[in-house]
Homo-oligomer: A and B are copies of this chain.
Amino acid sequence: MDRVGVDEFRQSGLAETRPITEEESVQLGEAIGRVSSREVRSHLPLPWFRRSAVDGYALRAADRAERLRVVDKVTAGRPTARRLGPGEAIEITTGAPMPEGADAVALVEESERSGDFVRVREAVEPGSHVSPVGEDIRPGQIILDRDQIVTPVAVAALASQGHQAVMVWRRPRVLIVSTGDELRPLGTPLAHGQVYDVNGAALEALVRAAGGIPVRGGVWEDRYEAVRAGMSALLDRDDWDILVTSGGTGASIPVFQGRDVRELHDLLPAVAAELGTLIHHGIRMSPGRPTALARLGQRPAFLLPGWPYAVLVHFEMLVEPAIRQAAHLPQGRRRAVAARLATSLSPMPGFTWVIQVRVSTDNDGTLWAEPLLPPPPPSASRVMTQMLEADGYIIVEAETDLPQGHPVTVWADPLRHREGKP
């Protein structure tokens, strides 16, 4: 199976991913960041009664009288039943309902009170300082679009209608499986050769940050029977929308080809092809060339390599777009910052090379991106420490060398971004 480019892989992943169709109701105060599943129109105009926009005196503009008798007082929430007659005024506060018979308000700053009377310095026009019914929100106006992220402003608009809850799309459930005989759960002792399941924990965090609900599917042993049994069991479960695995995707394929699948240690794509449809296996991308995409029971399965840096990058470039599509979220959560290469760089022609960088600012305010490259073979590679040190990554798709100072875009972790620095 030919390696495909990053864009083709990503588009295939999106094509395999259905937007979630189930809705749920969430309390207004907890709806922040969720995506509305229904258009909401106002049923209550705002304001729903004529109200004063200022502190002052409600009056009849037609009176054009300088001296009015103050016959009552209304404050917000405390209306009066009294109807305003000719030559009368009613003291009124901001937000209070206009008395019957009154059609304008004179500003308190432009009035002089004396006992039961008030002098209004200038005649007021009908409607002055009065908010008519529906001036802000008309009945039937759209206050929340379908597929809109619920923001604090949307919450305010929904609250103005008295809604206690809002209908949103259920979050996509992302099943996370790690593969490898060497993997042990966190918090347990390690025997020789064993390591902790780093990718399972990292994927749980990544899924949550991307807007999905992580569902932990445990660890599959690196044997054909174990992987086949594990993957078969998933087909019958309806508690996941997207599958993400790490490890076992096939670094050995060019070498072990011709052997029986049961002998392979990297066998997830092979089992996925048996139980579903293998759509892609191999991507022209570094890190992580052997990533695969499959369809399992009409649901997308992203089979990522086992190297933690590859898991991070492939998740962000391939899996997160699918999760966000399923969640009805817009694409493009990451922050992009313009910088310049701190060193020259020889690209990998034909490949998308994702390189972690550290960013520093010089005296001119220019951001410089210093590539964090693993040592070349036959040395082995530092991975976790470079990931901890990185401020973001650059995506290099050039065919020829990039000189020092070449402009690059640094993609930064949205959790870490601050103004001025990624």
Q: Which residues of B contact A204 (CB under 8 A)?
A: 28-29, 155
User: A336: CB under 8 A from chain B?
Assistant: yes
- By a CB distance below 8 angstroms, the chain B residues around A379 are 127
Residue of B29, B130, B205, B265 near A208 (CB, 8 A) is B29
Choose one: B159, B197, B202, B222; the contact of A196 (CB below 8 Å): B159
**Residue in chain B with minimal CB distance to A161:** B196
Which of the segments A13-21, A233-241, A361-369, A412-420 contacts the partner chain? A412-420
Q: Which residues of B sit under 8 angstroms from A53, Cβ to Cβ?
A: 377, 380-381
Instruction: Mark contacts of A127-144 with chain B using CB atoms, 8 A cut-off: 1 yes-contact digit, 0 otherwise.
Output: 111111001110001010
Provide the A81-116 mask, 1 if CB < 8 A to any CB of B, else 0: 000000000000111110000001000110000000
Indicate if A125 sits at the interface (CB-CB under 8 A). Answer: yes
Number of chain copies forming the complex: 2
Look across to chain B and name the residue whose beta carbon is closest to the beta carbon of A356.
B153
> Among residues 59 to 81 in chain A, which have CB atoms less than 8 Å away from a CB atom of chain B?
74-79
| A373 interfacial by beta-carbon distance below 8 Å | no
For A75, the chain B residues whose CB sits under 8 A away are 181, 222, 265
Determine the distance from Cα of A220 to Cα of B251 in the docked complex, in whole angstroms. Answer: 66
Q: How far is the CA of A63 from the CA of B368 in the complex (A)?
A: 46
Q: How far is the CA of A154 from the CA of B216 in the complex (A)?
A: 19
A131 proximity list for chain B (CB < 8 A):
380-381
In whole Å, how far is A35's beta carbon from the nearest beta carbon of chain B? 11
What interface size band does chain A fall in? Answer: 35 or more
Is residue A188 contacting chain B, with contact meaning CB distance below 8 A?
A: yes
Instruction: Indicate if A149 sits at the interface (CB-CB under 8 A).
Output: yes
Task: List CB contacts (< 8 Å) of A322-368 with chain B.
Answer: 330-332, 334-336
| Residue A229 is within 8 A (CB to CB) of chain B in the complex | no
* A157, A159, A222 interface centre (most CB from chain B within 10 Å): A159
Does A187 reach chain B (CB closer than 8 Å)? yes
A76 closest partner in B (C-beta):
B182
Contact A186 B198 (CB under 8 A): no
Given contacts A47-B195, A201-B156, whether A137 and B76 have CB atoms under 8 Å apart is: no
Residues of the B chain whose Cβ atoms lie less than 8 Å from the Cβ of A160: 195-196, 198, 384
Smallest CB separation, A97 vs chain B (Å) = 4
A interface with B by C-beta (< 8 Å): 28-33, 46-49, 51, 53-55, 74-79, 93-97, 104, 108-109, 124-125, 127-132, 135-137, 141, 143, 149-164, 180-183, 186-188, 190, 192-202, 204-206, 208-209, 214, 216, 222, 251-252, 254-255, 265, 306, 308, 312, 330-332, 334-336, 377-385, 387-388, 390, 413, 415-416, 418-420
